[in-house]
């Protein structure tokens, strides 16, 4: 009997410990006020000091460029924000989706100039619970893809039925774009670019728990998922980019850094294999998470110019 009581006590202690870890994980990653950009950058391992001077210069140049704030209301009543940069006379639009704990004007300062120089209207989205967009809980693409479709519709209203739309996302934004391609999209959406996207929040978090915290996914993920479902209204594997990209009807450019330790490069190979439409895969050697466009700018922009631009001009 005494042994039985000891075993029960041990099980209870372990259960309480697992719950506490899951609770911390939920609070740290899902709630806007607790998800800090500095912590995310530290975990991602990219040496941003190499690129900060150029990023700042590009952001200053962007700030001086004609732009306006745009707002829409999500299906669940959130006020969502994006920064719009017009290109007079152009019917080409690129809608950009940023990564976890970032915002549109931060992730796309350099690429925005690249697209503007090539005659694109730019919409730099602040995904829900980021930047100037409302929201308490981060959507990890599952919720954001519905918002993305609303932004697409907004751009069609603004530029007319004959406009051509490109979707571009990095990290969580890349997953958002790929999950969006699984929806029934209007014909104005012509192509997509996905940079270092994860397959699903469940799978990337399981990877991070194991690789960075040396913890098993079970039962932490199961408990966290229950919390997220109850609080945020969705599940971490409710929308899987690998499943959604298999439904895509538009060409997709997949880009990933070979040295990415945050979202493993193996995920892009899974996503690429699942895609049944016209596609191209670019692996940037030595690039860490969201570093590809800086590590090898010529390769990155060249892939867009050779694969995406002809589609947008057709």
Give me the residue spans of the domains in the chain. Answer: 43-200+239-313
Q: What is the predicted pLDDT for the residue at 12?
A: 45
Query: How does strand 79-85 pair with strand 121-126?
Result: antiparallel
Q: What is the predicted pLDDT for the residue at 14?
A: 44
Candidates 182, 193, 197, 213; CA nearest to 264 is 197
Q: What is the predicted pLDDT for the residue at 311?
A: 97
CB-count exposure of residue 5 (10 Å: 0-12, 13-18, 19+): exposed
> pLDDT tens across 245-270, in order?
999 999 999 999 999 999 999 999 99
- Work out the percent of the chain whose per-residue pLDDT is above 90: 68
Q: What is the predicted pLDDT for the residue at 216?
A: 82
> pLDDT tens across 117-139, in order?
999 999 999 999 999 999 999 99
Whether 181 contacts 252, CB under 8 Å: yes
Long-range CB contacts (within 8 A, 24+) of 219-226: 219/18, 219/22, 220/18, 220/21, 220/22, 220/25, 221/22, 223/18, 223/19, 223/22, 223/23, 224/22, 224/25, 224/26
> pLDDT tens across 186-245, in order?
999 999 999 999 999 999 989 988 888 778 888 888 888 888 898 888 988 888 999 999
Cα separation, 86 vs 123, whole angstroms: 9
How does the average pLDDT of the chain come out, rounded?
90
Fold of 43-200+239-313: Rossmann fold (3.40.50)
Name the percent of the chain in helix, strand, coil, to the closest 5: 50, 15, 35
Q: What is the predicted pLDDT for the residue at 218?
A: 80
Write out the two tokens for 161: 């039925």
Cα separation, 197 vs 199, whole angstroms: 7
pLDDT band at 34 (very low <50, low <70, confident <90, very high): confident
Q: Is the pLDDT assigned to residue 77 strictly greater than 90? A: yes
Cα separation, 198 vs 258, whole angstroms: 14
Q: What is the predicted pLDDT for the residue at 17?
A: 55
Q: Is the pLDDT assigned to residue 1 strictly greater than 80? A: no
Candidates 133, 30, 130, 33; CA nearest to 78 is 133
Whether 40 contacts 48, CB under 8 Å: no
Q: What is the predicted pLDDT for the residue at 18?
A: 58
Q: What is the predicted pLDDT for the residue at 265?
A: 97
SS3 170: strand
pLDDT band at 22 (very low <50, low <70, confident <90, very high): low
């Amino acid at each position: 009997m005494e042994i039985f009581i000891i075993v029960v006590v041990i099980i209870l202690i372990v259960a309480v410990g697992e719950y506490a870890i899951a609770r911390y994980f939920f609070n740290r990653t899902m709630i806007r006020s607790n998800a800090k950009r500095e912590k995310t950058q530290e975990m991602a391992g990219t040496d941003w000091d190499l690129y900060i001077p150029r990023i700042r210069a590009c952001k200053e140049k962007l700030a001086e460029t004609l732009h306006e704030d745009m707002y829409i209301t999500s299906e669940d009543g959130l006020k969502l924000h994006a920064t719009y940069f017009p290109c007079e006379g152009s019917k080409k639009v690129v809608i950009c989706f940023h990564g976890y704990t970032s915002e549109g004007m931060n992730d796309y300062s350099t690429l925005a100039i690249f697209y503007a120089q090539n005659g694109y209207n730019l919409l730099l989205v602040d995904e829900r619970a980021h930047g100037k967009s409302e929201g308490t809980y981060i959507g990890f693409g599952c919720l954001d893809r519905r918002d993305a479709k609303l932004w697409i519709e907004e751009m069609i209203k603004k530029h007319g039925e004959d406009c051509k739309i490109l979707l571009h996302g990095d990290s969580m934004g890349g997953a958002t774009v790929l999950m969006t391609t699984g929806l029934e999209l209007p014909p104005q959406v012509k192509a997509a670019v996905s940079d270092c996207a994860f397959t699903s929040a469940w799978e990337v978090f399981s990877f991070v728990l194991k690789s960075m915290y040396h913890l098993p996914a079970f039962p932490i993920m199961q408990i966290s998922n229950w919390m997220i479902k109850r609080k945020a209204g969705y599940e971490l594997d409710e929308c899987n980019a690998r499943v959604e990209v298999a439904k895509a009807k538009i060409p997709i450019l997949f880009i990933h850094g070979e040295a990415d330790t945050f979202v493993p490069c193996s995920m892009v190979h899974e996503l690429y294999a699942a895609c049944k439409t016209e596609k191209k895969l670019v692996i940037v050697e030595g690039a860490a998470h969201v570093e590809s466009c800086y590590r090898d700018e010529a390769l990155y922009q060249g892939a867009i110019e050779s694969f995406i631009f002809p589609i947008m001009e057709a």
